Structure 1
Amino acid sequence: MRITKQNTVGLVIDIQERLIAVMNEKETLLKNCTTLSQGLKELEIPMLVSQQYTKGLGETVTEIQAVFDEFSYFEKKDFSCFQVPEIVDQLKELKVKNIVICGIESHVCVLQTALDLKAAGLNPIVVMDCVSSRTAANVELAKERFRYEGIMMTSYESILFELTASAGDPSFRAISKLVK
């Protein structure tokens, strides 16, 4: 199944100051998530952002906030973003099928969100070079669970070019620059 711009949204899960500080390969994670977010913006794909317990874990990192013209987020206490009624309502309003996911932690919030999205008949797409956990082992365990559950996995370069679809797309040059 091809992923197209017309029915896709990006979901940035909990890339917060105090949480990212303890992630495995945090510098690469932040660079990749920022690139993915910039690419989705270039492609005019709507993006939603969640924050888990902001009071304790801090705000979304400034690198991600800077991608947005007007930054806003959905506060959550549940691990799954799909348990936040406002996020569910926003997904319904946008009439999307595909949810491109980046964020942390891969074996907790990302996993539970992807499972709930799939159960609701949506197509979660986990961008594996844009997710992390405190340990590499937990990322691997999450990957195995995604595979077992039939949840699509990809890389940021792959999904950005799939959404671009053609070298004739007006965004092609900008996307090419981002991924190089």
Structure 2
Amino acid sequence: MSSHRDLTIQNSLVIFCDLQVGFQKSILHIEEILDAALFLRKSARLVSIPCLFSEQWPEKYSHVVDTLEAREEEIFSKRTFSLMGSPTASELVVSKKRECIIFAGVQSHICVQQSVLDLLANGFSVFLVTDAMGSRRSIEHTMALESMKQEGAIISTTEAVVFQWFRSVDAPYFEEFQHLKRPQQ
């Protein structure tokens, strides 16, 4: 019997929050964050796990970085800090019918935290892939992670999540997965 917190390919949805061109210069360790996010994106795509990409106020902060290869139908724009505050985004998340949300993005203490708290309040299990998250200041990132953990979010990493999806070297697509470039330290 699986619990609400057991990640599977069938119950997972990946959300990439505001990984936009306009935030690249202000976020600490952005290259490492994008590297981990790309690994997560490619791993999810390999096993057909749906992904969504939010864009915070794209008129000001531009669009999702090209390296993440977001498809038009996966992207939604928002002006609220919580993606659940946007009716379009909220409907998109619910329409995927997945109870486990894998969450990556920026800024940890603003849009990520408000979105995660709303997702938890709506009954979702949320897994924070901390190597694919960040803020302008490390204290903001650290405190946001602590706050979200206290509210019930599960702290993890991209590799830990992806290996939970596969569970075994005998899993379908595991051989192809072995050829993906993993995040650097």
Q: TM-score, normalised by structure 2?
A: 0.91
1:70 deviates by 5.1
Say which SS state the counterpart of residue 130 (structure 1) adopts. Answer: strand
For residues 92 and 72 of structure 1, do their structure 2 counterparts lie closer, same or farther at Cα, with a shift above 3 Å needed? closer
Listed as ranges, the matches of 1:116-155 within 5 Å are 116-155=118-157
Question: Which protein has the bigger helix share?
Answer: 1
- Corresponding residue of 2:42: 38
- Corresponding residue of 2:105: 103
Listed as ranges, the matches of 1:69-80 within 5 Å are 72-80=74-82
1:50 aligns with 2:54: yes
1:19-47 deviation line (CA, Å, top 9, x unaligned): 12211011111111111111111111001
- Corresponding residue of 2:159: 157
1:177 deviates by 2.7
1:85 deviates by 1.3
1:169 deviates by 1.3
1:56 deviates by 0.5
Please point out which of 83, 86, 89 is paired with 2:85.
83
Asked if structure 2 preserves the Cα contact closer than 8 Å seen for 1:51 and 1:74, the reply is yes
How high is the sequence identity, in percent, across the aligned residues? 26
Asked if structure 2 preserves the Cα contact closer than 8 Å seen for 1:17 and 1:59, the reply is yes
Asked if structure 2 preserves the Cα contact closer than 8 Å seen for 1:127 and 1:155, the reply is yes
1:85-121 deviation line (CA, Å, top 9, x unaligned): 1222222222110111111001111111110000001
Please point out which of 92, 95, 106 is paired with 1:93.
95
1:11 aligns with 2:19: no
- Corresponding residue of 1:177: 179
Say which SS state the counterpart of residue 37 (structure 2) adopts. Answer: helix
Structure 1 segments, 4+ long, off by >6 Å, are none
Distance 2:131 2:38 in 1: 11
Structure 2 residue ranges without an equivalent (≥5): none
Distance 2:72 2:82 in 1: 24
Distance 1:168 1:138 in 2: 40
Please point out which of 4, 24, 27 is paired with 2:28.
24
Distance 1:87 1:71 in 2: 12
Distance 2:177 2:71 in 1: 19
Distance 2:21 2:146 in 1: 27
The amino acid of 2:8's aligned partner reads T
Distance 1:70 1:41 in 2: 15
The amino acid of 2:126's aligned partner reads P
The amino acid of 2:124's aligned partner reads L
The amino acid of 1:107's aligned partner reads H
Say which SS state the counterpart of residue 98 (structure 2) adopts. Answer: coil
RMSD of the TM alignment (CA)? Answer: 1.5
